């Protein structure tokens, strides 16, 4: 997946021209600004990969095809409400207290159940964002933990790995890598 956060819609369109079809964005509001330009791209899929507050869930359901950052039963129910079919992933905190975002592994079964009870949601798998390190081997254990968790739950897809550590993520079973900098260069601060 190409991560286009902070970059203007032109960059996204250029990526599409070159054959990219899956795009990751972090902020609902930012993507809302680009959506008029990117809405008509046949076959393109837009993934929300940033934290989602429940009060933005309706807008997010409208704009995105995949919400990778479901982290509570409540958010799942809110995403189900608009009635639009949506693919979702559960964001997992694989690193204990070190990271703020995502659900802890103990919370996952309740979220899986909540999603199963939502007729408009289809659960694809798990997503994680390990604590940042520029040494890919430091993040490998978190990728492995996510894979083991998904195996226990019978879930197929794993969204993990970014520009600096996607090789390790692929070795550990990633089905979705989220690459921004390595494709588009350094981002300015949002």
Report the interface residues with ligand PLP, using CB under 6 A: 3, 5, 26, 49-50, 129, 162-163, 178-182
Closer Cβ to ligand PLP, 50 or 73, answer by number: 50
Closer Cβ to ligand PLP, 73 or 161, answer by number: 161
Closer Cβ to ligand PLP, 68 or 80, answer by number: 68
Q: Closest approach of Cβ 81 to ligand PLP, in Å?
A: 25
Phi and psi angles of residue 121, each rounded to the nearest 5 degrees, phi first:
-105, 140
Measured from each CB, the residue nearest to ligand PLP is 180
Residues in Cβ contact with 180 at an 8 Å cutoff, skipping those fewer than 6 apart: 2, 3, 4, 5, 24, 162, 163, 187
Closer Cβ to ligand PLP, 57 or 159, answer by number: 159
Q: Closest approach of Cβ 39 to ligand PLP, in Å?
A: 22
Closer Cβ to ligand PLP, 48 or 114, answer by number: 48
Asked if residues 41 and 65 have their Cβ atoms less than 8 Å apart, the reply is no
Q: Closest approach of Cβ 119 to ligand PLP, in Å?
A: 28
Q: Closest approach of Cβ 163 to ligand PLP, in Å?
A: 3
Q: Closest approach of Cβ 112 to ligand PLP, in Å?
A: 21
């Amino acid at each position: 997946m190409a991560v286009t956060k902070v970059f203007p819609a032109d960059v996204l369109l250029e990526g599409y021209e070159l054959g990219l079809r899956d795009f990751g964005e972090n902020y609902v509001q930012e993507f809302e600004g680009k959506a008029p330009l990117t809405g008509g791209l046949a076959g393109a899929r837009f993934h929300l990969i940033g934290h989602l507050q429940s009060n933005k869930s309706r807008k997010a359901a409208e704009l995105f095809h995949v919400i990778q950052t479901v982290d509570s039963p409540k958010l799942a129910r809110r995403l189900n409400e608009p009635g639009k079919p949506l693919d979702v992933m559960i964001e997992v905190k694989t690193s204990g207290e070190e990271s703020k975002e995502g659900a802890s592994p103990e919370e996952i079964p309740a979220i899986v159940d909540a999603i199963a009870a939502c007729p408009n949601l289809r659960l694809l798998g798990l997503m994680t964002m390990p604590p940042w390190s520029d040494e890919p081997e430091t993040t490998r254990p978190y990728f492995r933990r996510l894979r083991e968790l998904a195996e226990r739950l019978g879930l197929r897809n794993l969204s993990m790995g970014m520009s600096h550590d996607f090789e390790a993520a692929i070795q550990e079973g990633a089905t979705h890598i989220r690459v921004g900098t390595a494709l588009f260069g350094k981002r300015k601060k949002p």
